[in-house]
Amino acid sequence: MTDIKNSALGADVPEASQATATVIPLAPKVGPSDEAPGIVPGTLARVLAIANQKGGVGKTTTAINLGTALAAIGERVLIVDLDPQGNASTGLGIDRRNRRYSTYDVLIGEAPLRSAILPTAVPRLDIAPSTLDLSGVELEIGQERDRAYRLRNAFAALNTNAAPGNAYTYVLVDCPPSLNLLTVNAMAAANAILVPLQCEFFALEGLSQLLKTVEQVRETLNPELTIHGIVLTMYDARNNLSGQVVADVREFMGRKVYDTIIPRNVRVSEAPSYGKPVLVYDLKCVGSEAYLRLATEVIQREKELRAG
Ligand SMILES: Nc1ncnc2c1ncn2[C@@H]1O[C@H](COP(=O)(O)OP(=O)(O)OP(=O)(O)O)[C@@H](O)[C@H]1O
Ligand SMILES: [Mg+2]
């Protein structure tokens, strides 16, 4: 299994013992019919992994606020905090003392996902929080055969026995800034990836590595994985560079880029310190309006994906 050719994630991935935090860990080569846990159509929410190995590009902000916006327009949403930093949990006002079970317990098989889920102050929005323990998960399960499928397995029963109208329709997974086993678990469990890109110099740097990883996961772990879309974040209209980045990213990624652009907005950055999504903190600010537009676009794209 440590043979590079047998690695589930492509020929240019080093052996597990050499893997660094920014390199995908190896997973055993398995075919979808071989080990991928079965999915029962109709019982599962749409799972979107919010991923970019670059730090500070707006993954967590997008998880919190897209989740809130989707809930605000009637979807039933679960945010899964898969980052040991726990920013999504804190940003939604979840006190560390209340995180009795976390995504760490779920991934190591100590607790079912249901028992980790907590309600938030936003109706129809729940969260499975994380704790710092999560940073040790790779050491704990790194040698297990099903290590890349832990999250996918946990999702399989998510909507089982849910009362009518109570089943989750969207799950948003907030990934850490790394292409590690946590992100691979998210990609193996997701229907699609949503990529936040910050409107800054070097925005596209690292994107090809991310796309390559998605391709590798599709070939080895999750054949259905697609790119849902790319959302440009922290756009600053006063800065010429922001406009240039938008043009470059649209040229490079075409229709994959959502029409909605999230502006840089101080209300967006203030909200987490109050433990609130920006839509609760200041519904009328431009940041909230943008995330509501993004939610509408995500739902529209979902319809198109299902139809096509
Ligand atoms: N639209 C915005 N306007 C202003 N500030 C923003 C906006 N989006 C994000 N920020 C701020 O930028 C910082 C990074 O955002 P965020 O934590 O969402 O990124 P991330 O990709 O999740 O980071 P990490 O890689 O560390 O997990 C945060 O301080 C956040 O409040
Ligand atoms: Mg984050």
Q: Which atom of ligand 1 is nearest to the CA of 264?
A: 3
> What is the rounded distance in angstroms from the CA atom of residue 250 to the CA atom of residue 180?
28
What's the confidence (pLDDT) of residue 43? 54
Give the HSE-up count for residue 59: Cα atoms under 13 Å, Cβ half-sphere: 29
Q: How many A from CA of 61 to the centre of ligand 1?
A: 6
- Cβ–ligand 1 contact at 233 (below 6 Å): yes
User: Does residue 67 surpass a pLDDT of 70?
Assistant: yes
> What is the rounded distance in angstroms from the CA atom of residue 203 to the CA atom of residue 246?
9
What's the confidence (pLDDT) of residue 164? 74
Closest to 67 in 3D by CA, of 6, 19, 119:
119
> What is the rounded distance in angstroms from the CA atom of residue 257 to the CA atom of residue 207?
13
The CB density around residue 258, as the number of other CB atoms within 10 Å, is: 19
Residue 248 dihedral angles phi and psi, to the nearest 5°? -65, -45
E-assigned strand segments in 103-249:
118-119, 125-128, 170-174, 192-198, 226-235
Which tens digits make up the pLDDT trace of 2-21? 332 233 343 233 333 333 33
- Cβ–ligand 1 contact at 61 (below 6 Å): yes
Going by CA atoms, what residue is nearest to atom 8 of ligand 1? 58
For residue 162, what pLDDT band results from cuts at 50, 70 and 90? confident
Inter-axis angle of helices 59-72 and 286-307, nearest 10 = 80
What's the confidence (pLDDT) of residue 24? 34
Q: How many A from CA of 304 to the centre of ligand 2?
A: 28
How would DSSP label each residue in 40-91? Answer: -TTSSPEEEEE--SSTTSSHHHHHHHHHHHHHHTT--EEEEE--TT-HHHHH
- Cβ–ligand 1 contact at 288 (below 6 Å): no
Between 122-136, 168-182, 236-250, the lowest mean confidence (pLDDT) is in: 236-250
Going by CA atoms, what residue is nearest to atom 2 of ligand 1? 264
Query: Which residues make Cβ contacts (< 8 Å) with residue 70, sequence separation at least 6?
Result: 77, 170, 295, 298, 299
Q: How many A from CA of 1 to the centre of ligand 2?
A: 32
> What is the rounded distance in angstroms from the CA atom of residue 198 to the CA atom of residue 141?
32
Which tens digits make up the pLDDT trace of 199-234? 998 888 889 999 999 999 999 999 999 999 999 999
Q: How many A from CA of 60 to the centre of ligand 1?
A: 7
- Cβ–ligand 1 contact at 229 (below 6 Å): no
> What is the rounded distance in angstroms from the CA atom of residue 244 to the CA atom of residue 262?
15
- Cβ–ligand 1 contact at 60 (below 6 Å): yes
3-state secondary structure of 150: helix
> What is the rounded distance in angstroms from the CA atom of residue 175 to the CA atom of residue 107?
14
Q: How many A from CA of 67 to the centre of ligand 2?
A: 14
- Cβ–ligand 1 contact at 287 (below 6 Å): yes
Domain limits for position 39 = 4-307
Q: Are 141 and 150 in contact (CB under 8 A)?
A: yes
Q: How many A from CA of 233 to the centre of ligand 1?
A: 9
Going by CA atoms, what residue is nearest to atom 6 of ligand 1? 269
Which tens digits make up the pLDDT trace of 68-105? 999 999 999 999 999 999 999 999 999 999 889 999 99
The CB density around residue 263, as the number of other CB atoms within 10 Å, is: 18
Q: Euclidean distance between the first and final Cα of the chain, in Å?
A: 37
Mean pLDDT of 38-50: 70
> What is the rounded distance in angstroms from the CA atom of residue 303 to the CA atom of residue 228?
12
Output the average pLDDT for the chain.
87
What percent of the chain stands above pLDDT 90? 76
- Cβ–ligand 1 contact at 65 (below 6 Å): no
- Cβ–ligand 1 contact at 90 (below 6 Å): no
Q: In the block, which residue shows the tokens 């940041």? A: 287
Task: Supply the CATH number for residue 146's domain.
Answer: 3.40.50.300
For residue 146, what pLDDT band results from cuts at 50, 70 and 90? very high
Q: Ligand 1, from 52, 235, 269, 292: best to mutate by most atoms within 8 Å of Cβ?
A: 269
Q: Ligand 1, from 60, 193, 242: best to mutate by most atoms within 8 Å of Cβ?
A: 60
Q: How many domains is the chain partitioned into structurally?
A: 1
What's the confidence (pLDDT) of residue 20? 31
Which tens digits make up the pLDDT trace of 185-198? 999 999 999 999 99
